[in-house]
Amino acid sequence: MNASLPDVPEVRVVGLPLLTSGFDLVERLDLAMHLKVHGPLEPMAGEPLARLAEQIALRGRGGAGFPFDRKLRAVADAAIRRGVRPVVVVNGSEDEPACRKDTVLINRAPHLILDGALLAAEALGARTLVIGVTRDSTEASMRTALAERGLGDRRGSALRARVQRNPVRMVTGESSALVRSADGGPPLPPGRKARTSEYGVGGAPTLLSNAETFAQLAVAARIGADRYCRTGLREEPGTVLLTLAGAVTRPMVVEVPTGVPLRYVLQLAGAPALPQGVLTGGYHGKWLDGVTANEAVISRAGLEACGGALGAGAVLPIGEGTCPLGESLRVAHWLASESAGQCGPCYLGLPAAARGLADVLQGGGPTALEALREVTRTVKRRGACKHPDGSAAFLESTIAAFTDDLAAHVLGDGCGRPVAGVLPLQAEAPPAQAPSGRRLAVDWTLCQGHGLCADIVPELIQLGPDGFPSVAEAAVPRYSEARASRAVRRCPALALRIEEDPAPVIRPALPTALPPGRGRRALGSGRQ
C-alpha cells in the first residue's frame, strides 16, 4: 500500500470508454493506431469550438475547474485586441505522488491530447504550442508523438511545437510557473500575478489547460455535443479520469462517467468496505468521512456538495487500522517541503502548520488545536501561487473530518492506532530536485539560547517560550540548505549541526522527543 505508484498503473473503465478507447488493444496508441481507433478530426473555427466546450460544460481537469469556453474566448479577445498571435500550452505536469491520470494519458494516448491542443491552436491562429512535462516517460512519449506528426520547433514552421521539461515539484505544475519556465526562467511562480489569457508565454495571450482537458475537447469534437452529453450527468456530462491509491489492493487509473457512486469506484480498486476516510482531489483536496463517502457521487458538484473535491482527480481511502491525523501529518510535512521557498506565508507558514498538527498529536491540547487553526487561516491568499491555499484547505479538512480522533488526541492520550503510511509520499523527484535528506539538530548540552539560528532559518527553527530553539522535523528543503549551513556556522555556542537524516525523506507521523524542559512547549512555539 505504501509503495509509490508507477508512471502507468493499471487502467480500468466503467461503462464505454472515451478517453481510454483502444487501451485494450495496445499499450500506446501511435498516430496510425490513434486514427484507426478515433478517426480523423476536422478543424473548427474559434466560436463553434467555444460553443462546443460550453455545451458539454467542459471545465479544466487540473484542479481549478475553470470553464474552458470562457478561457478560450478570453484568449481570442485578447489576441484580437492586442494584435498578437496567441500561444497554446498543455500542462502535463502531474507532480503529486498520488496522481497519475494525466501521466497515463500522455504515455498511452498522446495524440488525443495533441488533437485537442492543435484544434484550439488552429481555431485561435496560434503558431506556438508548448507541452509541459516533468517525467522521463511523459517527455519521451510526447516527443515521439510530435515526431510522428512531423511537428517540431523549427523556425519558419506554420506551427512551432516543443516539449518543456521541468523538475518534479508541486509548484512547477502551477500555470504561472509553467509559463515562466517556457520563457526560459526558473520553474517557479513569479511574484507578480497576471492572467495567462492576457500575458502568458512571450507576453502573448496564452490558452493553458491540462492534458485531460484537451483530450476531452478532442473526443467531443469528434462525436459531437449531443452524443457526448449522453454519458454522465446532464449538468456535468462525459467521463472523468481518477487515480485510486492509498488503502486499495489494486492502485489504478479509472475512466468513469459522472454520477457513478464513489463507493462503486472504491470497491473496484479493492478499498475497505467502509473506509475510515477518503481523501478526494489529491493533497490539495478534502477528506470525506467513511459514511459521507459511501453516499457521494463522482462529479465536481456532487463531491463539493458533501464537502469533498474533484480537484486533481485523486481518490485515496484509508482503513480503520491507521491514525488519520498521523497520515495527514505525513502529507503536511511533504507539502511544507514542496514550497518554492519564495513567500513567507508558504515557506514559514506550512512548516509551522505541520508542527502545529504534530503538537496536537502529542497532546498539546485545545491550545495547540487553536494555534493550528490560526496558522492555516493566516497562510491563505498570501502566496504567489495556490500551494499555501491548497495546503491550508487540506489541513482544515483534516480537522473537520476526523472529529472523534481529534478529540482523542486533544482531550485524551490519542487514538492508540499506529500510522501505517498508506498514502503514497515517496520522493519521486530526481536527486537535484529532491528534498535534501538532511536535518538540523541541536546539541542541548551546548545550546545557550542565543536565538541567532531562528533569525537565519526561521522556516526550520523557532524559539519557544523558554528562549531555546525547537527544530522542525521536516527534512531541510533544498531551498533552505544554504541558510541552514549559515546558521550552523554562525552559532556562537557551536550547538547546531546538520546531519544526514537516517529516516526516509518523508518524516514519520510523530516528531522525535526533545529533552526535558524544552519539549512540548517548544514544539508549539511556531504558532506565535
Kindly report the three-state secondary structure assignment for every residue of 296-357: CECCHHHHHHCCCCCCCCEEEEECCCCCHHHHHHHHHHHHHHCCCCCCHHHHCHHHHHHHHH
pLDDT for the residue 150: 96
What's the rounded Cα separation, in Å, for the pair 192 and 179? 13
- Which three-class secondary structure state does DSSP give residue 202? helix
Of the pLDDT bands very low, low, confident and very high (cuts 50, 70, 90), residue 3 is low
pLDDT, one tens digit per residue, over 148-162 is 999 999 998 999 999
Could you report the per-residue pLDDT of 435-486, keeping only the tens digit for each?
556 888 888 889 988 889 888 888 778 787 778 887 655 467 777 788 888 8
> Percent of the chain at pLDDT above 70?
91
pLDDT at 2: 45
User: With contact defined as beta carbons under 8 Å apart, do 351 and 336 qualify?
Assistant: yes
Greater confidence (474 vs 186) lies with 186
Q: SS3 sequence, 59-105? A: ECCCCCCCEHHHHHHHHHHHHHHHCCCCEEEEECCCCCCCCCHHHHH
| pLDDT tens figures, 73-132 | 999 999 999 999 999 999 999 988 999 999 999 999 999 999 999 999 999 999 999 999
The reported pLDDT for the residue numbered 516 is: 34
CB atoms within 10 A of CB 185: 11
Determine the pLDDT at residue 472: 54
pLDDT band of 504, cuts 50, 70, 90: very low
In this predicted structure, what is the pLDDT of residue 345?
76
Lowest-confidence region among 104-118, 238-252, 481-495? 481-495
**Buried residues in 32-54 as b, exposed as e (16+ CB within 10 A):** eebeebbeebeebebeebbbbbb
Give the chain's count of helices (H) and strands (E).
21, 14
3-state class (DSSP) for residue 496: strand
More confident of the two residues 115 and 367: 115
pLDDT exceeds 90 at position 379: no
Mean pLDDT, the chain, as a whole number?
A: 88
Check residue 427 and give its pLDDT: 47
Q: What pLDDT score was predicted for residue 507?
A: 34
Q: Closest Cα partner for 128 from 194, 182, 177?
A: 182
Mean pLDDT of 5-15: 94
Tell me 192's DSSP state.
S
Provide the pLDDT for residue 426.
62
Taking the C-alpha atoms of residue 158 and residue 526, their distance in angstroms, rounded to an integer, is 55
Q: For the chain, state the CA radius of gyration.
A: 24
**Vertex 148: Cα angle to 144 and 149 (nearest 5):** 120
**Which cell goes with 465?**
517560550
Q: What is the pLDDT of residue 355?
A: 87
Order the strands of the 277-280 sheet from edge to edge.
10-13, 252-257, 239-244, 314-318, 277-280, 286-289
Residue 380 has phi, psi (to 5 degrees) of -75, 145
Average pLDDT over residues 387-394: 92
Give which of 501, 176, 484 is closest to 333, Cα–Cα.
501
pLDDT digits (tens, 9 = 90+) for 343-365: 877 888 888 899 899 999 988 88
* Residue bearing the bigger pLDDT, 191 or 204: 204
Band (pLDDT 50/70/90 cuts) for residue 27 is very high
Query: Which is more confidently placed, 421 or 193?
Result: 421
Of 203 and 433, the structure prediction assigns the larger pLDDT to 203
Question: 40 Cβ partners below 8 Å, 6+ apart?
Answer: none
pLDDT tens-digit series, residues 298-339: 999 999 999 999 999 999 999 999 999 999 999 999 998 888
Helices 31-38/110-124 angle, 10° precision: 80
